[in-house]
């Protein structure tokens, strides 16, 4: 299986510029007559899809797209080597910081939103990262 990330944006050139400047991603390919741009440089490709505000994600949906700050259960966590440097770069590109930097035994984390309302987290590992908080040898019962 291959994982691809797709992110709806109302302004494709602005989104490409933001993800280039904020996180150093590069343009791979333009697809579907220029309505989709593949961004490379992360562990999986990020596809920016031009979708106008107030359009439906599918014909059956009662919801319409909006690009004010919104919550989505799926968000992007970007693991960086230097959180302070990455935060300054993201803010300079137009991200909005949504709280202070949080310090944990496993690392540092700060929450942001991109200019299109999508939530992002910057994460800097410390020591063993999430291995420090992993529950080894115990399976999670999916029925509970």
Specify the residue for token string 């299986």.
1
38-79 per-position pLDDT tens digit: 999 999 999 999 998 888 877 777 888 888 888 777 788 999
Q: Examine residue 143 and state whether it is found in any structural domain, yes or no.
A: no
Distance CA 8, CA 51 (A): 6
Q: Examine residue 39 and state whether it is found in any structural domain, yes or no.
A: yes
105-142 per-position pLDDT tens digit: 999 999 999 999 999 999 999 988 888 888 766 655 55
Q: Examine residue 97 and state whether it is found in any structural domain, yes or no.
A: yes
Q: Examine residue 129 and state whether it is found in any structural domain, yes or no.
A: yes
Domain that holds residue 32: 5-133
23 CB-contact burial (10 Å; exposed 0-12 / middle 13-18 / buried 19+): buried
Phi then psi for residue 44, to 5 deg, are -130, 150
Report the CATH number at residue 100: 3.10.180.10
Q: Examine residue 138 and state whether it is found in any structural domain, yes or no.
A: no
In this prediction, residue 137 carries a pLDDT of 60
Q: Examine residue 140 and state whether it is found in any structural domain, yes or no.
A: no
Total domains in the fold of the chain: 1
Instruction: Provide the whole-model pTM.
Output: 0.82
């Amino acid at each position: 299986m291959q994982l691809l990330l797709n992110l709806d944006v109302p302004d494709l050139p602005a989104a490409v510029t933001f993800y280039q400047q904020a996180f150093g991603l590069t343009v791979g390919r333009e697809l579907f007559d220029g309505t989709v741009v593949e961004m490379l440089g992360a562990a999986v490709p990020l596809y920016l899809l031009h979708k106008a505000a107030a359009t439906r994600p599918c014909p059956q949906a009662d919801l319409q797209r909006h690009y004010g700050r919104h919550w989505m259960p799926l968000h992007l966590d970007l693991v960086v080597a230097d959180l302070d440097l990455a935060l300054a770069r993201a803010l300079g590109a137009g991200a909005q910081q949504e709280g202070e930097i949080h310090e944990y035994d496993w690392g540092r984390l700060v929450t942001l939103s991109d200019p299109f309302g999508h939530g992002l987290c910057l994460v800097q590992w410390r020591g063993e990262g999430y291995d420090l908080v992993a529950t080894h040898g115990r399976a999670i019962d999916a029925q509970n």
